[in-house]
Amino acid sequence: MLSTKLATAAKQIRYYTLKELRELGFGHFGGSLSIVEALAVIYGKHLNIDAQWANDPNRGYFVLSKGHGGPALYATLFLKGFYSEDVLYTLNQNGTTLPSHPDRNLTPGVEMTCGSLGQGISAATGIAYGNKLAGRNNYTYCIVGDGELNEGQCWEAFQFASHHKLENLIVLIDDNKKQLDGPTKEIIDPLDFVEKLTAFGFDTVKVDGSSVDAIDKAIENAKENNGKPQAIVLDTIKGQGVKYIEEKADNHHMRPNEEDWKAINQAIEELEKELEGVLTV
Amino acid sequence: MTFILEKAEKEMRQAYAETIYHLAKQDPDVIVMEADLSSAMSTGSLKDKLPNQYVNIGIMEANMMSLAAGLNVTGRKPFIHSFGQFLTRRAFDQLFVSLAYAQLSAVLVGSDAGVTAEHNGGTHMTFEDMGLMRLVPKAHVYEASDPTQLAYLLEKGYKEGGVHYIRTIRKSPVKLYDEQTNFEKAQVLREGTDVTLVASGMMVAEALKAADLLAKEGIEAEVIDMFYIKPLDSETLLRSVRKTGKVVTAENHNVISGLGSAVSECLAENYPAPVRRVGVREQFGQVGVTPYLQEFYGLTAENIAKEAGNLVNK
B227-239 pLDDT, tens digit each? 999 999 999 999 9
Note whether B93 and B69 are within 8 A (CB).
no
Q: How confident is the model at residue B312 (pLDDT cuts 50, 70, 90)?
A: very high
Q: How confident is the model at residue B2 (pLDDT cuts 50, 70, 90)?
A: low
Q: How confident is the model at residue A52 (pLDDT cuts 50, 70, 90)?
A: confident
Q: Which residues of B99-126 are buried (b: 16+ CB within 10 A; e: fewer)?
A: bbbbbbbbbbbbbbbbbbbbeeeeebbb
Please indicate, yes or no, if residue B6 is contained in any of the structural domains: no
Determine phi and psi for A138, rounding to 5 degrees. Answer: -130, 175
CATH of the domain at B117: 3.40.50.970
Please indicate, yes or no, if residue B92 is contained in any of the structural domains: yes
C-alpha distances in angstroms, A208 versus A11, A148, A200? Answer: 17, 20, 22
Query: What is the least distance, in Å, from the CA of B265 to any CA of chain A?
Result: 31
The mean pLDDT value for B264-270 works out to: 98
Please indicate, yes or no, if residue B86 is contained in any of the structural domains: yes
C-alpha distances in angstroms, A155 versus A141, A150, A175, A199? Answer: 17, 9, 16, 11
Partner-chain contact A129 B102, CB within 8 Å = no
Query: What is the least distance, in Å, from the CA of A112 to any CA of chain B?
Result: 7
Whether B210 and B163 map to the same domain: the answer is no
Amino acid at B125: M
> Which pLDDT belongs to residue A71?
98
For the cut 90, the answer to whether the pLDDT of residue A278 exceeds it is no
Give yes or no for a cis peptide into B28 (omega within 30° of 0): no
Determine phi and psi for B275, rounding to 5 degrees. Answer: -130, 140
> Which pLDDT belongs to residue A2?
76
Neighbours of B84 (CB within 10 A): 32
Nearest-by-CA chain B residue for A119: B66
For the cut 50, the answer to whether the pLDDT of residue A252 exceeds it is yes
**Sign of the dihedral through C-alpha B199, B279, B93, A199:** negative
Whether B29 and B123 map to the same domain: the answer is yes
Q: How confident is the model at residue A60 (pLDDT cuts 50, 70, 90)?
A: very high
Q: B104, B132, B167 — which closes off a domain?
A: B167
C-alpha distances in angstroms, A196 versus A63, A222, A243, B63, B164? Answer: 22, 18, 31, 19, 37
B170-192 pLDDT, tens digit each? 998 999 999 999 999 999 999 99
Nearest to A123 among B57, B69, B103 (CB): B69
Structural Rg of chain B based on CA atoms = 19
Domain count, chain B: 2
Domain residue limits at B276: 187-312
Please indicate, yes or no, if residue B223 is contained in any of the structural domains: yes
Ramachandran region, residue B215 (left: φ > 0; alpha: ψ -120 to 50; beta: rest)? alpha
Nearest-by-CA chain A residue for B75: A130
Please indicate, yes or no, if residue B134 is contained in any of the structural domains: yes
Whether B159 and B195 map to the same domain: the answer is no
Whether B133 and B39 map to the same domain: the answer is yes
Which of B66, B76, B103 to substitute to test the interface with A, most A CBs within 10 Å? B66
B200-255 pLDDT, tens digit each? 999 999 999 999 999 999 999 999 999 999 999 999 999 999 999 999 999 999 99
Q: How confident is the model at residue A50 (pLDDT cuts 50, 70, 90)?
A: confident
The mean pLDDT value for A70-81 works out to: 97
Which of A113, A138, A155, A163 to substitute to test the interface with B, most B CBs within 10 Å? A113
The number of C-alpha atoms within 13 Å of A167 and in the hemisphere containing its C-beta is: 12
Q: How far apart are CA B214 and CA A273, in angstroms?
A: 87
The mean pLDDT value for B17-34 works out to: 98
CATH of the domain at B255: 3.40.50.920
Taking alpha carbons only, the member of A127, A180, A119 closest to residue A144 is: A119
Please indicate, yes or no, if residue B7 is contained in any of the structural domains: no
Q: Strand A182-183 relative to strand A178-179: parallel, antiparallel, unpaired?
A: antiparallel
Nearest to A122 among B31, B67, B75 (CB): B67
Tell me how many residue pairs between chain A and chain B have CB atoms under 8 A apart: 104
For the cut 60, the answer to whether the pLDDT of residue A147 exceeds it is yes
> Which pLDDT belongs to residue A277?
82
**Sign of the dihedral through C-alpha B176, B180, B183, B189:** negative
| Burial status of residue A77 (CB atoms within 10 A of its CB: 0-12, 13-18, 19 or more) | buried
Domains in chain A (CATH in brackets) are: 2-274 (3.40.50.970)
Whether B76 and B131 map to the same domain: the answer is yes
Q: Which residues of A7-24 are buried (b: 16+ CB within 10 A; e: fewer)?
A: bbbbbbbbbbbbbbbbeb
For the cut 90, the answer to whether the pLDDT of residue A81 exceeds it is yes
Q: How confident is the model at residue B49 (pLDDT cuts 50, 70, 90)?
A: very high
Taking alpha carbons only, the member of B6, B11, B16 closest to residue B172 is: B11
Whether B152 and B45 map to the same domain: the answer is yes
Whether B163 and B214 map to the same domain: the answer is no
Whether B63 and B96 map to the same domain: the answer is yes
Taking alpha carbons only, the member of B88, B71, B49 closest to residue B254 is: B88
Taking alpha carbons only, the member of A36, A5, A6, A44 closest to residue A18 is: A36
Provide, as residue numbers in chain A, all residues whose Cβ is less than 8 Å from the Cβ of B33.
Answer: none
Q: How far apart are CA B195 and CA B207, in angstroms?
A: 12
* Sequence-ordered strand ranges (E) for B191-274: 195-199, 221-225, 228-230, 247-254
Whether B154 and B286 map to the same domain: the answer is no
> Which pLDDT belongs to residue B1?
53
Provide, as residue numbers in chain B, all residues whose Cβ is less than 8 Å from the Cβ of A152.
Answer: 62
Nearest-by-CA chain A residue for B57: A160
Nearest to B70 among A103, A126, A156 (CB): A126
Q: B111, B138, B167 — which closes off a domain?
A: B167
Please indicate, yes or no, if residue B182 is contained in any of the structural domains: no
Q: How far is CA B310 from the centre of its chain?
A: 27
Model ipTM value: 0.94
B58-105 pLDDT, tens digit each? 999 999 999 999 999 999 999 999 999 999 999 999 999 999 999 999
Note whether B63 and A124 are within 8 A (CB).
no
Q: How far apart are CA A19 and CA A269, in angstroms?
A: 10
Whether B118 and B233 map to the same domain: the answer is no
Whether B120 and B91 map to the same domain: the answer is yes
B99-125 pLDDT, tens digit each? 999 999 999 999 999 999 999 999 999
Whether B146 and B29 map to the same domain: the answer is yes
